[in-house]
Structure 1
């Protein structure tokens, strides 16, 4: 039987107030919360001491310098370029090296605008107030993205060193640019829908729209090299020896970085859906007619083992998590037990990972890199070393410690190479299976890392 509807009565407020005034835990908690920052005073000192920055398995070369995405949502591009630069640093004996997230950022914006327009055209008969159309219109071009979306840009446009296309003001502070481009795209959506409803030819109209978006982006970000435009990369190696390499963005990605995008697969831990299944997010992407965003859904323990295997093979790991939940930016710790919330009578352990996703409390929000893991005597992970992209003032000189419990509860994605799946006892035929789970673009697993 359904419960009877009730409203809050004044008598209840009086009774509740009297009850809480007689409760010592509530009174102490109130004094703490009203006069100080809860995340400063409730630190669990025992956990803080245990979360030490020492790892018995660590990649040989970590990327330098520590990168800073600043006031932009480019974490996925920083995590990806941080992954790739390690290979170039080994290959060319470099002490420091930066790839250009800004170059990928420019062409992602351009392609994503076109992707948005194509989705508007394809769905022009849908009611304007449908959930799908309103989802498209919420943020036509935003900063966040997924690893697959980065590979799409790299395949079409290539990659360049940072010195070839460094940050401009609006790559580091993208809010105003996004606001203006999104306004223009919503205007174009209206124009296209109106024209299509009248049966008009929109070919030239859309081409003009693409041109205007390109103009806006070049004004905000500057003109990037074209995919086949030659540039010269000049640098000193660790021994101070000058080197010079002529390349184009596409050949730099393919030949210098040796980035083979089809070799990579994103593993997912989505406890709502069956494991050992491919999951596709419908209508999520940046390049029209490009590869869709797909994941192989596996148990959290297999994602952890995939990380261990890559670190032991001297390979960094791109991963996506729900950040900054349970992250202390000053101490550089990601630990679900770092704060003693239970001292206030506040229980944070009432929902499972599955429940948190189902009820809108958790989703993937940030991408980073794992460069080390500490294992116990039985080979089980205890903690991970995380390279972030928030500069050296965040964490411990830009790095964080992430506990295994945090990994299991708040990490959703790990990127590996396909030939690493056999070690996880995964049937690679699943990757090509037509029996896949399809999620709508507004599903939590369609969230874009910022």
Structure 2
């Protein structure tokens, strides 16, 4: 059996000797102490190499602002739909936006149902079982992904923002989520106690529906009730007025959105040994809408993700993508570059994890989703990408960011691609039955 060893005086002396063995260490230490690591390690060359000119780009209008919420996946996905609708109807992109609050409501309601269904699925397990612990630790959250967005849209449709504007909790969802989580934990106890008292699963399911009625009531207090019908009104670029009265959100989606969610597939790059390329994967408990079709991803090499993203941009469509946005990033100027900081030189050390290692050792995961709206090609190969973010217009170039192609390699994990840009053999691979992964596997990370 392994016997743990504590730090002793000899080890401290060895460490101090190593620190003083390089005369540059004290100089860098002084700089870091005075200015912080980020400013000290910043490579000016990374900034000089990035500028907002691209050989291929799409004019998608202005960026949106998700505020202090985890709805980036929803904003990015709606932005891709917004562009298609505005182009199709000759609208001014800056004057048109789709309601994030509308889908926010249905996402919370559907996630509440899924949580309670997962509680029922694990109802015979002990409270300290790792699956139950994981469910109770975070009953509800803002984060999601394209496949969850697709299921919401196909079930509930979409509406213009003026039909259901942002609410106060959309500026900061912390209290909203805390209240919903508290209720869901209490609901979980009710259902588990019923099981302990010998109630049948049928009786427990009926009780679950009663509990969901109350959840709907709470969500409506924060966001208001979603509209069932509305009047779609707008002026086009020629100043002509249009009205489509008494339309449902689902009718609006099918009639006006050029982006149809069933046309797109999720392709990921998780180069770990346990997830061979060419296979599809799903994760237990993952999702929002309860149905028979699991959320799934096709795992491919990063070069294929790159080539498909370029195809879609050149075809006039922006690309929703998921990444680890905090790595090697300078938010205020909106630059993502794998060589942004000289951490190794400044700290006189080495960082030895590659992309697969960072995933396996939990050093990186998918944390944010944005859309690719441009790429700069030199002799057919990309060196930088243009990004539409959802953090408002303060950071970057009025909210747009730049990503180096090296950063794409290291920190991009997912792209959402229209099947018309995907070779038939890849589409066929996507259609295979997914391998079920354990709950909370990194490939199911939400953002």
TM-score, L = length of structure 1: 0.94
Match of 1:278 among 272, 277, 280: 280
Q: Secondary structure at the match of 2:320?
A: strand
Distance in 2, Cα, partners of 1:3 & 1:20: 30
Deviation per CA, 1:241-272, whole angstroms, max 9, x where unpaired? 22222221001111111442221100010101
Write out aligned runs for 1:366-381 (5 A): 366-377=368-379, 379-381=380-382
Q: Deviations over 1:45-77 (max 9, x none)?
A: 122101121110112x3133x100000000000
Given candidates 65, 86, 90, the residue that maps to 1:68 is: 65
- Partner Cα distance (1:427, 1:448) in 2: 24
Q: How far is 1:348 from its partner?
A: 5.9
Corresponding residue for residue 442 of structure 1: 440
Please report how far the alpha carbon of residue 3 of structure 1 lies from its aligned counterpart in structure 2 after TM superposition.
8.8
Q: Distance in 2 between matches of 1:297 and 1:346?
A: 36
SS in 2 for 1:202: helix
- How big is the shift at 1:41? 2.8
User: Is structure 2 residue 78 aligned with structure 1 residue 77?
Assistant: no
Number of aligned residues: 439
Alpha carbons of 1:292 and 1:215: their partners in 2 closer, same or farther (altered >3 Å)?
Answer: same
Q: Distance in 2 between matches of 1:431 and 1:144?
A: 24
Is 1:294 paired with 2:296? yes
Deviation at residue 104 of structure 1 after TM alignment:
0.6
Q: State how far apart, in whole Å, the 2-side matches of 1:3 and 1:224 are.
A: 58
Alignment of 1:171-320 (within 5 A): 171-200=170-199, 201-225=203-227, 229-246=228-245, 247-272=247-272, 273-320=275-322
For 1:351, which of 341, 350, 353 is the aligned residue?
Answer: 353
- State the partner residue of 1:88: 85
Residue 406 of structure 2 aligns with which residue?
405
1:305/1:347 CA distance change after superposition, 3 Å: farther
Q: Say whether the 8 Å CA contact 1:73–1:143 is kept in structure 2.
A: yes
> Which sits farther off after the overlay, 183-192 or 281-290?
281-290
1:137-156 equivalent positions in 2, closer than 5 A: 137-156=136-155
1:310-342 Cα offsets, whole Å, 9 max, x none, are: 011010000000111111111110001011223
Report how far residue 393 of structure 1 moved.
Answer: 0.5
Distance 1:131 1:150 in 2: 28
Q: Kindly indicate whether the alpha-carbon contact (under 8 Å) linking 2:71 and 2:142 is maintained by their aligned counterparts in 1.
A: yes
Cα distance change of structure 1 residues 305 and 349 upon mapping to structure 2, 3 Å threshold = farther
- CA shift, 1:34, in A, is 1.1
Tell me, yes or no, if the aligned pair for 2:373 and 2:387 is still in contact at 8 Å. yes
**TM-score normalised by structure 2 residue count:** 0.94
Tell me if the contact between 1:152 and 1:290 (Cα under 8 Å) persists in the aligned partners. no
Paired residues for 1:10-25 under 5 Å: 10-25=9-24
Between stretches 250-259 and 239-248, larger displacement belongs to 239-248
1:414 equivalent in alignment to 2:412 = no
| Cα shift readout 1:15-54 (whole Å, capped 9, x = no counterpart) | 4334423532221121112111321232211221011211
Say yes or no: does 1:127 pair with 2:132. Answer: no
CA distance in 2, matches of 1:420, 1:288: 29
Paired residue secondary structure (1:426): helix
SS of 1:409's equivalent? Answer: helix
The 1:290/1:104 distance shift into structure 2, 3 A limit, reads farther
SS of structure 1 residue aligned to 2:311: helix
CA distance in 2, matches of 1:347, 1:293: 41
User: Alignment partner of 1:400: what SS?
Assistant: strand
Structure 2 gap ranges (5+): none
Post-superposition offset of 1:5: 4.7
Confirm or deny: 8 A CA contact 2:232 2:244 kept in the other structure.
yes
Question: How far apart are 1:399 and its partner, in Å?
Answer: 0.6
How far apart in 1 are the matches of 2:3 and 2:191?
49
Deviates more, 1:384-393 or 1:16-25: 16-25
What SS does structure 1 have at the residue aligned with 2:162?
Answer: coil
